[in-house]
Copies of this chain bind each other. A is one copy, B any other.
């Protein structure tokens, strides 16, 4: 019952999609390839045809999926009228709003944030950390630009502001995802970030 190339690509995507859902629901380690295959409506044979093994499947998921961190960079406009700092503020608020309404991104971020297995899945971890490093570097550059334009008021500096931004962002997302999404990510997140950015600027809020 061989399928056409298009159909094969469809099953491949179906396997990835099923894996994404199950990994998020049950965790990476306790989800079996058999379950993934069943969820996708195929057998383990299909899974092993498209992917060498479980780690390979997870890596493919990471490469294929829309990562929240890449969203950040995509949403960071270079010529915002409010300058680099305004661009960062708009970016983070937009990114939170997108994450709040996109289940797929939520699942992916959960996997990245909650990944166990530092040894066996070292390849996965490498991919993940290098990616996060790259994003953090870009954000640091943006904060330095903001400082250069005098948008960061003392005693904040480009470094401390970038740290606070980064930690605040990771913290809010982890809290929201890990504990059942019990608050309104987009609104409460945006509120705190607006206050935070007005602190960076050193002035009274708008």
A binding-site residues for B, Cβ under 8 Å: 25-30, 113-120, 129, 132, 155-156, 160, 163-164, 166-172, 174-175, 179, 188, 191-192, 195-196, 198-199, 205
- Contact of B188 with A116 in the complex, beta carbons under 8 Å: no
| Cβ contacts under 8 Å, A196 to chain B | 164, 199
A26 to B116, CA, bound (A): 8
**Chain B residue with Cβ nearest A28:** B116
| Cβ contacts under 8 Å, A168 to chain B | 164, 167-168, 171
**Chain B residue with Cβ nearest A129:** B179
Contact of A174 among B27, B163, B164, B170 (CB under 8 A): B170
Instruction: Supply 17 further A-B pairs (C-beta < 8 A) apart from A27-B117, A167-B167, A171-B171.
Output: A26-B117, A27-B119, A29-B29, A30-B116, A114-B115, A114-B116, A115-B116, A163-B172, A164-B196, A166-B171, A167-B170, A167-B171, A169-B171, A170-B170, A170-B174, A171-B172, A171-B174
Give chain B nearest CB distance to A71 CB in angstroms: 18
A171 to B172, CA, bound (A): 8
- Contact of A160 with B192 in the complex, beta carbons under 8 Å: yes
Most buried by B among A28, A132, A170: A170
**Chain B residue with Cβ nearest A183:** B163
A160 to B170, CA, bound (A): 16
A113 to B179, CA, bound (A): 12
| Cβ contacts under 8 Å, A169 to chain B | 171
**Chain B residue with Cβ nearest A188:** B163
- Contact of B29 with A30 in the complex, beta carbons under 8 Å: yes
A119 to B35, CA, bound (A): 14
| Cβ contacts under 8 Å, A129 to chain B | 179
Going nearest first, the 5 A-B pairs with the smallest beta carbon separation are A167-B171, A171-B171, A29-B29, A27-B116, A116-B116
